Each structure stands twice: as structure tokens, then as C-alpha cells.
Structure 1
């Protein structure tokens, strides 16, 4: 296995939508190059959320050192700013061991923050946030999305009318600062500086149907592995709720809502087929958003993840980047 020279890139990023084959590609890279993996995934940070996040197996985790996996309790948040801070430190540590830092995942906000830095926007304000949540309870998130469109059209245009977390944050920023969230993104002032010199390899499907089939297969595998029991165990803790970032993860949110519905109707059977339908549809929508994010990163090197020689192409791209 060749050593990574000090004059080469400090890190390589491997991104792609969910179910595009990132884990297999990362392990193949690790067979060729001395590296350690930094997870770029906002769901893998949570302990006790293994099945629904498609967390790498114990065997896969043992093949190569992994970082930023199982570092938070589901009750805690983990921000993009924290990710950038942790990733920067890890890249330095991994390089100091003479290894390549391999950033792997599908949380595109984390990648964008790492590459470009984070804008110096105001911190969260619990009182303003509570006011927005109270209005959403009375009027619904689509109504607040329409309000956002009047004060920050660019941000509203990229958000779903039911994306409560991001609508809330955009309105909160506007209420506190009097400025649109999108104006901060356009500002040269950065709260957190990005990292230069990271090559980005992107796994993207030529045929969207190929990805949809893999998404369905993976969700079925999760259900068979006991995903619903995993969600029930999280609910049984008693301190978690549906509005936490951890429980808004795709799959968990749908399962939580259906379990709420079942509890509200004692004696009713759980709608397993509906969970499958909602979970697969939500995962497809996530993949669509991930691909949209990737297309906004012109520096990426695209590999067709549904090509027969996709792994060979990834390995070639890494070799050429080093």
C-alpha cells in the first residue's frame, strides 16, 4: 500500500445521494491507500440509530478507522459549524499519522460548509423560535413558507412548504437581523472559514430508476432488520420527541408519526405498508435534494454510480487526485 506523500492533497471527499454506493467505494479506496474515514452524515452522529441510518456494520467499521460516528445522543444537536470544526481537527490528526483523510457522506450542507465556510449570521433565539413555532401550530408551515417567500424569495424557492426546520431558521434570522438568510450567504464575511485543497468525487446515477430501486431495496432491508423496533426503543426512552433533529431524519420521522397515530387509536394495527411507502418516498426526495446540492458544486468529479465499472472509476479518480 503506497504512502500518502506530504506534498499531496490533505483530504479527498466522496459524496453522493443515499444508496449510491458510497460505503463500498470508501472501503475500496481504503484497500488501496492508507486512510481514515471522516463521516459526513448528520444521522450517523447519533448513538442508538443504527438500522434506519444504514450505519456501517461493525465489520465495516473495523476495516478502517471511522470518525464522527456515534458521537451524540439523539437528544443533542450537531451543527454544521461543529462538523467543520471537528473535520478540520481530524484532517490534521489523520495527516499527522501519514494517512489520507477520506470524507464520506451525503449531508451536503456539511460538505458545502467545509468547502466554503459558514456565513456570520445571528445565533438562535429561543424566544423568537417559540413565537414562530406557535404561529406554525395555528396556521401551518405552508403559511409561514408563503410569508418567507415575501421577505426571502431565494430561500423560500429552495425549501419545501413543510420543511419546518429550515423555514423556522430563515424566519428567525429575518426577525432578528432584518436581513434575508440568502443575503448572508452572499456576504464575504465568514463565521467559519472553509478548507481549500479537497478533491471532490461525486457518485451520481445516470438512470434515476436505478437509484430508486436501490432505495426501495435498502428500506426493505431496514424493515426486515428491525427498524420499527429501533424507533419504538427510542420512543420508550421518554425524553425524545418528533421535533428533535435526530427524529426528523428520513424514515424515523415517518415511523414516529405513524406510531403516534397508532397510539391515538388504541387497538388499531400498525400500517406497515404505509410506513414502507412513506419511507421510500421520503428517501427518494432526500436523494433528489442531495443531487441538486451536488450540481451546485462545479468542482466535483462525477462518477456514474450505476456504471458497471463505477468502483474502478472511483479508484482511478482518487489515484489521479493524489
Structure 2
């Protein structure tokens, strides 16, 4: 685990040199095809030499829930184990890890019509108004999420309008649990300012590599819109707003970098509260190797 731009993929690929592992992506943006530059997706050569499960499995027009991830991840893990290898999950989508490890409640399947109506309301009246509605319907759950977290606000209201039940009630009953022994390791940068500089440099490289053209190609398809989860990914949302002339180019850059920093901050907050987690710094390959070796020896996976 680790915040965005902390070097998770690079470290995972390095560790793959020393252990019989296969990589499984835990990233809600890398699932989408044709979204390569803005997601910092591993390069073609990296994926060729170090294949990742659960990358490029969905079109940007398609929805993908945490429940979809749970079943896809379990399937990938089983396939890796059946090969006699060890699954190494790598990514920064903390909610995916949480659902995978702790199980999930029996939430209703998403309804496109209900969801679009909620998003339309948010477009007219703003996400804060939508959050206030959720606070009255489900104050317990609303207190656990940020008032600007539109995705979770919409999902919670969607669940209520479909089922008549609150998300906080449904989350009390978990129906699936993770059946494997696990080692949880997270990269936590020891210098927040350095991470911010890396985020800025990385986004500038995205622009130089053609990020604007990537999003313009998606925009010209004609079947995508700003309400889709794919187009709400950090960077894509801001670039989409620039292409549709809602913000200036400089504003797009500023908002993209700020949003990425905020994402990293939220990820680090998640990790600081995570139980049974071992922390390493970006460059501690040898320490990570030692942690894995001891864990696998304990599990009698290697001698």
C-alpha cells in the first residue's frame, strides 16, 4: 500500500526479482483502458515484462464497484496460488483493500437511472446540498465521509432510494471475508514536502507526454461524460473541465496538483489508522525483502 507517487509499482517490480510472485493491481483508475498517462499506468514494456492482474479490464464508459473488485481480486489471487506462486497486491485504493480484507455488506446493485438523477441534482444544486440530504437520511454514515466526496455521497443516496435502507445499517452485516494469511506493508514517505514536489514533477511530465491529447481523445468519443467514475479520476476531471472551457489551462494544472496532494493526504490518513501494518520508506528494498522472507518462512511457503 501507499499514497500516490510514493513508488509502489517501482518497488513491487523490484521485489518481483527476488520472490516467485505475480502482481495484482489495487487501483480504481488503472482498471480503465485508454487511460494511461493520467493514471501513471505502468508502461507497455513494464506490463510486458511484469504483467499485472486487474489492469485494462474495463472501458471508461463502464462502471466498476468495490464488489466487482472483491470478486475479481479473489479470482486473481486463486489463479496465482494455483500456479504455485505468491500474490502481491499493489496500489493505493484503500477502500478496495478494506472491502477485500474486511468483507462487504449486501448492498444493492447500482441503478444507472437513479444514479444519473442524483448526479443531475448535484450538478444543479451542488454536492454540499446533496451531502446535507444524506446527513438527514443517514447521519451515521455521512459523518464518516467528507462533504466533498461526491462518489460516496451519491452511492449512499442511491442505496437508500433503491432499497429504502441506510448504508450504515447495511454495513453492519458483512457477507464475505478474506480467507488467506496476509502480510500488510505500506510505503510512507518520510518527507511530505518531497512527496509534493514529486507529485508536481510527475504531473508536468504527464503534460509533456501528451495527457491533454489522451483526454481529448476520450472526449471526442462522444459516449463519455464528466459524471462517469472514470472521468472523475484525479487529473481527468480537471482536464475535462479545461477541454470544455470551464477552467483555464493554468487553473487545470493548479487544481490537478492540489487534488493529487489531497488524495495523497487522504491515503496517508487511512494508512496511519490501519491495523497490523508494517511501514517502510520509499527506498527500503532490503527491509521489504527481509519482511517478506520472514513472513513466507513463517507460512512455510519457502525454505
Q: Please confirm whether the aligned pair reaches a TM-score higher than 0.5, indicating the same fold.
A: yes
1:198 is aligned to 2:182: yes
Superposed, which structure 2 residues align to 1:18-97 within 5 Å? 18-97=4-83
Partner of 2:201 in structure 1?
Answer: 217
2:260 pairs with 1:286: no
2:174 matched residue in structure 1: 189
Return the alpha-carbon distance in structure 2 between the equivalents of residues 182 and 206 of structure 1: 35
Q: 1:199 to 1:258 in 2, by over 3 A?
A: same
In the TM superposition, what whole-angstrom CA distance separates every residue of 1:130-189 from its partner, at most 9, and x where no partner exists? 44334323322101112222332343234333322211111222334444322322x133
1:5 maps to what in 2? none
In structure 2, stretches of 5+ residues that fail to align are 297-303
| Separation in structure 2 between the aligned mates of residue 46 and residue 228 of structure 1, nearest angstrom | 17
The residue aligned with 2:285 is 311
Q: 1:209 to 1:278 in 2, by over 3 A?
A: same
Higher strand share: 1
Give me the whole-angstrom Cα distance separating, in 2, the residues matched to 1:138 and 1:58.
41
**What secondary structure does 1:31 align onto?**
coil
Structure 1 stretch displaced more, 309-318 or 43-52? 309-318
TM-score (norm 2): 0.91
Q: For 1:134 and 1:128, how far apart are their aligned partners in 2?
A: 10
Scaled by the length of structure 1, the TM-score of the pair is: 0.86
- Mapped partners of 1:24, 1:126: distance in 2: 37
The match for 1:272 is 249
Corresponding residue pairs, total: 296
Structure 2 distance, partners of 1:137, 1:32, is 50
1:88–1:195 contact (8 Å) kept in structure 2: no
Q: 1:290 to 1:93 in 2, by over 3 A?
A: same
Equivalent residues of 1:202, 1:303 under 8 A apart: yes
The answer to whether the 8 Å contact 2:106/2:173 transfers is no
Residue deviations 1:223-265 (CA, integer Å, cap 9, x gap): 1111011001111111111111111110000000111116xxx
Q: Which residue of 2 aligns with 1:320?
A: 294
- From 112, 117, 133, give the equivalent of 1:147: 133
RMSD between aligned residues: 1.9
After TM superposition, which residue ranges in structure 1, 4 or more long, deviate above 4 angstroms?
A: none
